[in-house]
Amino acid sequence: MEITRLSSKGQIIIPKTIRAAHHWDAGMEFIVEERDGNLILRPLKPFPVTRLEKGLGCTGYQGSPKSLEEMDKGIAESLRQCWSKNKKR
């Protein structure tokens, strides 16, 4: 068991051994809960857990697969359109 102290700014230093054991680095965000008179810290996950099927649905393309040549043509056309719009400004 380790002891820490609350600063005048309301900060508590988490001992290095605990930070290292949990791979907690500076700048990490935590959810702070009070439960039954205790404080609970849980690392905030950067993204919510998502099923693969749901994540793939955001791609939006439902057509047949494109060849590399077709993709290259599409990218080149989009770049041409973007460049022509920027030249008009």
CATH number of the structural domain 1-46: 2.10.260
Segment 3-33, tens digit of pLDDT: 999 999 999 999 999 999 999 999 999 999 9
Segment 53-80, tens digit of pLDDT: 776 666 667 788 889 999 999 999 999 9
Q: What is the pTM of this model?
A: 0.48
Alpha helix segments (H runs only) across 1-89: 16-22, 52-56, 68-88
| Domain boundaries, given as residue ranges, for the chain | 1-46
